[in-house]
Amino acid sequence: MSRKRKIGNFFAYVLLVIISVIWLFPFVGLVLQSFRSYNTEFGGMVGYLVPKHFSLDSYIYLFSGECKFVRWYLNTLIIALFVTAGQTVVVVCVSYALSRMRFVGRTFLMKTWLILGMFPGFLTMICLYFLLKLLGLTQAGAVPGLILIGVASSGMGYYVCKGYFDTIPKSLDEAARIDGATRAQILISMIVPLSKPIIIYTALVAFMAPWCDYVFASYVAFGHSNSYNVAVSLQNWVWTNDYQGFFTRFCAGGILVAIPVTILFMCLQKYYVEGVTGGAVKG
């Protein structure tokens, strides 16, 4: 290795270490502050990173009867699981129909959905709220309501999945049809197993979204704390005027939210990379 190259690599390593420190700093801070003792050091924001006393005060608070964090956590988990299942099925169905079949109105459908996608999602918030209210799915019924909202319009997000289906050779379909398989059989027994990576990607993205859904969840569950999800509680803890007392609790709650999602993501990272790269190239 040449001397020039060695020097270059040295600087590259320095740069990478700096980048790593910047990128990891918030997570380290989050973990450390979640262990700060609430009783001796006050739960607000302080000017030092490492707590003087480590304790589990904030975590104990989350699991005590004082707040409904466990309930909110379960709400979010239920929403995430149902939305994942629903969205994956819907997206696979829509992608197969648009990728493999030619029918009257296909281009019309695709163009309409493309145009609809250009409207900002929050525009229709008030209308969706009243639609859900008509169905009795607000406040106390917010959890099924949020599942419904999450699944109902997910057909419009077919692009990545359809792009993947397009790369599976059509000759496979034709061979199966000659053998007497119906379209439904082809989808279930051939396309789905072949598309495992993209289906996992779709499910993963669908699973992660509800954990961050503050906007609709707070609007639909307004004033009914039993229906909150974790995003609403975290946001409230940070932004209420007495967040000074709740900051370490927010950190602890954040850690509990982040751990399962992060572990899941890291395990399925390979599929995620495949999904975003494929999606980026096809647009």
Question: Scanning residues 43 to 72, which ones bind another protein (CB under 8 A)?
Answer: 44-49
**What number of residues does the chain have?**
283
Q: Binding of another protein at residue 115 (CB under 8 A)? A: yes
Q: Binding of another protein at residue 74 (CB under 8 A)? A: no
In angstroms, give the least distance from the CB of 116 to another protein: 6
- Identified binder of another protein from the candidate list 90, 146, 199, 221, rule CB under 8 A: 90
Four-residue CA torsion sign, 254, 257, 263, 269: negative
Q: Binding of another protein at residue 178 (CB under 8 A)? A: no
Stretch that binds another protein, among 50-58, 66-74, 191-199, 239-247 (CB under 8 A): 239-247
In angstroms, give the least distance from the CB of 278 to another protein: 9
- Identified binder of another protein from the candidate list 85, 110, 156, 200, rule CB under 8 A: 156
- Identified binder of another protein from the candidate list 79, 187, 191, 203, rule CB under 8 A: 187
List beta partners, residue 36.
54
DSSP state of 125: H
Q: Binding of another protein at residue 26 (CB under 8 A)? A: yes
In angstroms, the CA 119 to CA 123 distance is 7
List beta partners, residue 54.
36
Look up residue 275 and give its amino acid.
G
Q: Which of 245, 257, 225 is nearest to 45 (CA)?
A: 245
CB nearer to another protein: pick between 22 and 65: 22
Q: Binding of another protein at residue 277 (CB under 8 A)? A: yes
Are 139 and 178 within 8 A, CB to CB?
no
